[in-house]
Structure 1
């Protein structure tokens, strides 16, 4: 009875351990005997005459009836799912480090820095612009002065020639007019003398008719 109870206990332990028995064909009876002894030592480390007799009987069986023990793996445990509410309530990178706020502050500071630098650049460029304008104006004034002096010099050279030419032209006109007037008076005198001669001739002709 004790041996039978122990045999039932071994059977129960095998079922709880998910042990399956599959028939194999070993190469030699010596290997089946070693496998049986190994299984015996693993299942029941305490020596028992009843159990040993059972495995001894199994070792004397034919190769077709010898079985090996293979353990089946347990089903994988599914990963635990975290509720979406907990995920929403978890702190994010932005909320933890105030990334957006720091970024806006940095952009504002950079914009002010650029505006300040632009104002400084414009103010610093004003003297250069004024100097360039004054230099341009001075250059134009110098050029204008040079042009005026050159014009005066040319006028001073040309004016006497102009005066000479005008005087010569006036003298020629006076001479022309005087010669024309002398010619006119001479023609008038000639005409008068002709008229007087005609009148004298007419009077003489009339006197001769009356005689």
Structure 2
């Protein structure tokens, strides 16, 4: 499988940098090849076109990202701890790789419908983690029962996503990880069971 070939990862990593620095539309395949240290033609052994690189990049990087979040949240006992860990891990992973943060927050927001569908498919696994945490929170009576799960999922993911986008737009001038507890507190209080 192409993912196991050494140049695949090299090209993906180069694409993250090139797209972050130049923007998706100005990132020619030749620039990505040069950054990866491969011939232009080599790219086409792994990818159909530039869009395929972007989708593969997202699948690969988001796959690793989600795996890390699954590991970290599974290690926690309560829904409250899991939610905090989810937020902290989300912020930590993106703050550790500013090129990836630029690509995920800005360059993946393409208007191409087919591209959006492929990205949404990858995100499903992440949204399932959020759903599980919300369900546990309801069972533990941390959150109220009559929640619209779809809306809650959008709110949680959307809050984290917008917080990271704002940080990227402000050129990462502050530590986003410092905001995790505040974001967590706002979400938990917003979903809290009415006493």
Q: Same fold (TM over 0.5)?
A: no
* Larger gyration radius, structure 1 or structure 2: 1
Normalised by the shorter chain, which TM-score bucket? under 0.3
